[in-house]
Amino acid sequence: MSTHRITVTVNRTTHEAAVSSRISLADFLRDQLGYTGTHLACEHGVCGSCTVVVDGRAVRSCLILAAQVDGRMVLTLEGLAESGRLHPIQQALLDHHGFQCGFCTPGVAMSLYELFQRNPDPADDEVEGYLSGCLCRCTGYGGIRRSVAALRANAAHGEERIRGQAD
């Protein structure tokens, strides 16, 4: 089993680490760096709980190896809030009961992060595409959808622009 030296920026902090070839990005984030905000459930790409943003794109961290993020920028749930202020996505989920049990929330938040980075006022179909990739076992997407509606309204009024790193 090979070991790989990687340099990766996670939530604006650069880390150097030695990782075993078979360690997923999810396990690396949780076990080696302590970013336990990334949740692991199905571990085969179906549920979306472990979704993080790598170089501006929402991806499953259970399906990427830690060795593959060498030289790349990773954003996890912990990186959304800045200066003690919740990110608009977190605030919207909080305001509209989008958290529910909280297990799928990290994946929902990071998926919405990519979605709103690309388009502050996404079409319904686009929203559904991203949310289909997040399995909520509370089976109540109502709160999540209301959170999305609030984010779109914000964008339409130019009040709370979605902030974040560029692609």
- Residues 32-38: contacts with CB within 8 Å, 24+ apart? 32/66, 35/10, 35/11, 35/76, 35/77, 35/78, 37/76, 37/77, 37/78, 37/106, 38/76, 38/77, 38/106
Select 45 or 102, whichever has its Cβ closest to other proteins.
Answer: 45
User: Is residue 24 within the footprint of other proteins (CB under 8 A)?
Assistant: yes
Among 29, 33, 67, 93, which residue interacts with other proteins (rule: CB under 8 A)? 67
Minimum separation from the CB atom of position 146 to other proteins (A): 20
For other proteins, what does the binding mask look like between residues 84 and 123, x meaning CB under 8 A?
---------------------------x--xx--------
Select 20 or 160, whichever has its Cβ closest to other proteins.
Answer: 20
User: Is residue 132 within the footprint of other proteins (CB under 8 A)?
Assistant: yes
- Distances 130 to 1, 77, 78, 101, 141 between C-alpha atoms, Å: 35, 17, 20, 19, 12
DSSP structural state of residue 85: B
Place of tokens 């259970």: 62
* Cβ atoms within 10 Å, residue 167: 10
User: Is residue 64 within the footprint of other proteins (CB under 8 A)?
Assistant: yes
3-state helix vs strand vs coil in the chain, percent to 5 = 35, 20, 45
Among 49, 51, 100, 105, which residue interacts with other proteins (rule: CB under 8 A)? 51
Q: Which two tokens stand for residue 37?
A: 């905000």
Q: How many residues of this chain bind other proteins (CB under 8 A)? A: 31
User: Is residue 160 within the footprint of other proteins (CB under 8 A)?
Assistant: no
Interface contacts to other proteins, rule CB under 8 A: 1-2, 4, 21-22, 24, 27, 43-45, 48, 51, 57-60, 62-65, 67-68, 70, 111, 114-115, 128-130, 132-133
